[in-house]
Amino acid sequence: MAKRTLSVRLVTLGGVVALAAAALVGPVAIIGAGQAAAGGTITQTSPTKGTTKFGTAFSTQLLTTGNVGPVTFSTDSMTVWGTVSSTGAVSAPGTALPGTYFLFGTDSDGSGGVGAWRFTLTVTFSITQTTPLSGSVTTTGSAAFTNQLNTTGNNGPVTFAKTGGGAALTVSSSGQIDRKSVV
Report pLDDT digits (tens) over 86-122.
999 999 999 888 889 999 999 999 999 999 999 999 9
- Given this model, what pLDDT does residue 126 score? 77
Q: Are residues 69 and 3 in the same domain?
A: no
CB atoms within 10 A of CB 27: 7
Q: Are residues 17 and 46 in the same domain?
A: no
**CA 87, CA 73: separation in Å to the nearest integer?**
6
Domain that holds residue 61: 41-124
pTM given for the model: 0.56
Domains identified in the chain, total number: 3
Report pLDDT digits (tens) over 45-61.
989 999 998 889 999 99
| Positions in the chain short of pLDDT 50 | 28, 30-36
Contact 99, 73 (CB under 8 A): no
Which amino acid belongs to residue 48? Answer: T
How far is CA 140 from each of CA 65, 143, 144, 165, 179, rounded to the nearest angstrom? 74, 8, 11, 17, 13
Q: Are residues 33 and 55 in the same domain?
A: no
